[in-house]
Structure 1
Amino acid sequence: MLIFNPDSDPALAAQLTSLLDAQAGLLEQRRFPDGESYLRVHSDCTDQDCVILCNLFHPDKRILPLLFLADTLRECGARSVGLVTPYLAYMRQDKRFKPGECVSSRPFARLLSSAFDYLITMDPHLHRYHSLDDIYSIPSRVVQAAPLIAHWIQENISAPLLIGPDSESEQWVAQVAHLAEAPFQILQKERHGDYDVSVSLPDLDSATQHTPVLVDDIISSGRTMLETIAHLQAAGLPKATAIGVHGIFAGNAYEQLTKVADVVTTDCIPHLSNQIDIAAPLAAAVRELLAETVTPPN
């Protein structure tokens, strides 16, 4: 197996390469003076199962080189080409809210489905879709972050109270709470704009002996968590821990959050807040999908 990393996540790529007993694919990339991408594969990928690790957290600048690489590997004789993207972009626009809007999750899914044999990701935003199969036509695996987060909470936080920011988060926050053997509460969120979010809280007077743990799939602007933490502080709760699966941290979100909470994320997006390792379940998913989708050579 060859693992290619056309992205900026060498640490995760090295972990996957070791766990899968694979070889690191050799890749040359640069940009021409006019901004176009140059790509050359130096590894012999004839009859090889090739895995591309590409974090799509800034998708517009990464997607074209990614597609070029997938196509080149096929032309060079790869037996299979799979994509591991811990953060799957363009899942949040899953409905046409205004006339003429692009429901970008759908064309993006068609684009990736046409380029790869299978897809592995972690906790994609599946609000209005039942599963990735609703829009992706290739086999996929969703690696769940809940067991990893629950284990981290058990190891690092005493008397936690898990808090979900909105009703969308209830199902998987409840799962984390169950696995961590901790209580949880779900807040009501109202979004007025990209940076204008308000939340309402239940009565937390009886929870002052707990450490509040805010859990969300994506930390982007951080406004929801900041608003929630302000209410928690007003209620007299201890310093909160904010946990995100995907730490995007737009603008100065991380700096603002660290002033009022301990901030922890998974390794889905490389960041100094990473404390929850994801390599082992990703590697297991690669093994499973290869066994199911790729015909062994004679």
Structure 2
Amino acid sequence: MPVTQEPKLISGNANRPLAEAIAKRMSMHRGAKIDLCDARVERFNDGEIFVEVFENVRGEDMFVVQSTSNPANDNLMELLIISDALRRSSARRITAVIPYFGYARQDRRTKARTPISAKLVANMMVTAGIERVLTMDLHAAQIQGFFDIPVDNLYAAPIFALDIERQFAGRMDQITVVSPDVGGVARARELAKRIGAPLSIVDKRREKPGEVAEMTVIGEVKDRIAIIVDDICDTAGTLCKAAETLMGQGATEVHSYITHGVLSGPAVERIADSVMGSLVVTDTIAPTGPVAACDRIRRVPTAPMFTQAILNIWNGTSVSSLFDADTLGPIYEGHYSAA
């Protein structure tokens, strides 16, 4: 079996710009040009997905970069079929790099006769030959337990902390971090702790899915810069309503930091018409045309963190070290260093 000299990257079609950014940054780290593996991932006329890898991958440590975002089913099948192709080509190890893990909101049975789709997806990935998963901000942390293989869950909070320190330099003492619901308190508390800010919560009551009937702010936001933090923004209804509620309680500005910008349906229009000063998302999901064109939406890069995590996995060193600001700061030097 040949000795693996470098990690090998292969990408599906879900977010190729992020995969290319990871390859470019990895080339800088390794001092040698690392390209995405030469392959074709395409569809037949009837919608079936076909994969062909044009390089030898026998004995190689393969990293498949593929978010399972919209269209979730197509992107998931691409990931599974790429993994199957690599397994049948005798790759030594297959790690799925899934910046956005779709189906994560279906992590439990909320009613009778409903599926736990996140568990089903986990089973499919293992069956396809995936031996390790690298992802970011899983909607439900317990999904890691759905896998019988290692799962490394990265966090966007350190990246957001660096960005906030730069964007709000000189005003950090005015910031209050806000969780848009009770379920996201742990995530918001982590960011608040990193930047030394107080925490507030928006308590919401839903009459039915997709509609927010009533919102109450727990904590003081009067004359403060409110920063809402969450993992997913889908249609942006809850987010925009929370921003209005915070402004109504006396906040001077409202900004949002969301890991995964799903931004479906009327989301972009709602954000453009909202009272939010800005919405910051990561690039785990490739932006649509309207998202890229909206001047209220700004993206921060995840390639530096994913690149280092991939190299750490390949080298057999710690991934959790990336959660430390002292470790992450140099990785993002030139991107989001504090002012």
Counterparts of 1:203 and 1:183 in 2: how far apart (Å)? 9
Kindly state the Cα deviation for residue 221 of structure 1 after the two structures are TM-superposed: 1.9
| Letter of the 2:201 counterpart | I
- Paired residue for 1:252, among 266, 271, 279? 266
* Paired residue type of 1:72: A
Q: Note the 1:106-145 alignment, pairs <5 A.
A: 106-114=119-127, 115-126=129-140, 129=142, 132=144, 134-145=145-156
TM-score (norm 1): 0.90
Q: What's the CA shift string for 1:15-64, capped at 9, x where partnerless?
A: 21133333311121322222222221112212221111001112211122
Pairing partner for 2:111 from 79, 92, 98 = 98
Q: Percent identity?
A: 23
Whether 1:229 and 2:243 are equivalent positions in the alignment is yes
In the alignment, structure 1 residue 76 sits paired with structure 2 residue 89: yes
Query: One-letter code of the match for 1:77?
Result: S
Q: Are 1:148 and 2:172 counterparts?
A: no
Q: TM-score, normalised by structure 2?
A: 0.80
Aligned to 2:303: 279
Q: Determine the C-alpha separation between the residues in 2 that align with 1:48 and 1:210.
A: 52
Assess, with a 3 A threshold, how the Cα gap between structure 1 residues 97 and 208 changes in structure 2: closer, same or farther.
closer
Unmatched runs of 5 consecutive residues or more in structure 1: 294-298
Cα offset for 1:238? 2.3
Give the deviation of 1:119 after TM superposition.
0.3
Match for 2:159: what amino acid?
L
Over the residues paired in the alignment, what is the CA RMSD in angstroms?
A: 1.9
Aligned counterpart, 2:178: 163
Q: Which stretch has the larger CA shift, 167-176 or 23-32?
A: 23-32
Q: 18-27 or 245-254: which moved more?
A: 18-27
Q: Which amino acid aligns with 2:82?
A: L
Q: Which amino acid aligns with 1:123?
A: D
Name the SS for the 1:24 alignment partner: coil
Residue in 1 that maps onto 2:337: none
For 1:63 and 1:144, the matched residues in 2 are separated by 22
What's the CA shift for 1:268? Answer: 1.3
Q: Give the corresponding residue for 1:296.
A: none
What CA deviation, in whole Å up to 9, does each residue of 1:182-231 have, x standing for no partner?
22211212222232023211364xx3332111111111121221221121
Q: Which of 58, 62, 66 is equivalent to 2:75? A: 62
Instruction: Report the equivalent of 1:10.
Output: 16
Q: Distance in 2 between matches of 1:7 and 1:34?
A: 18
1:185 & 1:7 partners in 2: Cα distance? 39
Q: May I ask how many residue pairs the two structures share in their alignment?
A: 288
Task: Give the conservation status (yes or no) of the 8 Å contact 1:222–1:249.
Answer: yes
